[in-house]
Amino acid sequence: MAVEKLYDLWAARNPQWEKRYEDSIIKNFCDYGRGATSLREDRGKVFGAGYEIFIVAFFIGLYFNQKRPLIEDTQKRKTLGQPIQYWGNIEQRGTRKSYPKLREYIFTALVARTDIDFIALEKGEMTSRKAVDMLMQTMEEYANWGFHFMEDKLTDDPNYFYRETAFLEIFLAFDASPVESIEDDEPDPLD
């Protein structure tokens, strides 16, 4: 099975998330269930569609390399109502650009961080459905940890994410580790 076909099967899916984050995170920051509107800024919404905050939560979990399994009770889960293949397709003149490449970056990260036996997949010893299920589980668990992280921040400080640079600061913190200079990494002498 080609990776392109696996991508298409993954993109046709709609990830799940825990309902407990609907009011505290999804509706708090998004026009979830209403679509993007020009009133978003007036209502203090940072994001348009619910999948946008899901993407942020996913990357928070990914970059912290932390996963949190979804609650087992499927009645306490929801989907965003839109398959991944449509995420970021809307473009509005002057205010919003589409971002289809982001889906590819998410998929690439999932392939790198999910333990799929691609040889077994090619040989037909693993179904493409099983591989996509594994990718989705990884995606949902990273996002679930990201939602939990955001909720903790809001519990500590309800206004934390209402600062203009709050999300930026979280992502910049990933790159805060000191980098060794090339001079410090010189090879040992051979004598």
Query: Which residues make Cβ contacts (< 8 Å) with residue 100, sequence separation at least 6?
Result: 88, 89
pLDDT at 151 (0 to 100): 94
Of 7-11, 16-20, 72-76, 158-162, the one with minimum mean pLDDT is 158-162
Query: Which residues make Cβ contacts (< 8 Å) with residue 171, sequence separation at least 6?
Result: 59, 63
Token look-up 């037909």 returns: 124
Of 25-29, 33-37, 128-132, 144-148, the one with minimum mean pLDDT is 33-37
> DSSP string spanning 119-167?
HHHHHTSS-HHHHHHHHHHHHHHHHHHHHHHHHHHHHH-TTGGGSTTHH
Q: What is the tens place of the pLDDT at every residue in 21-43?
A: 998 898 888 876 554 444 444 44
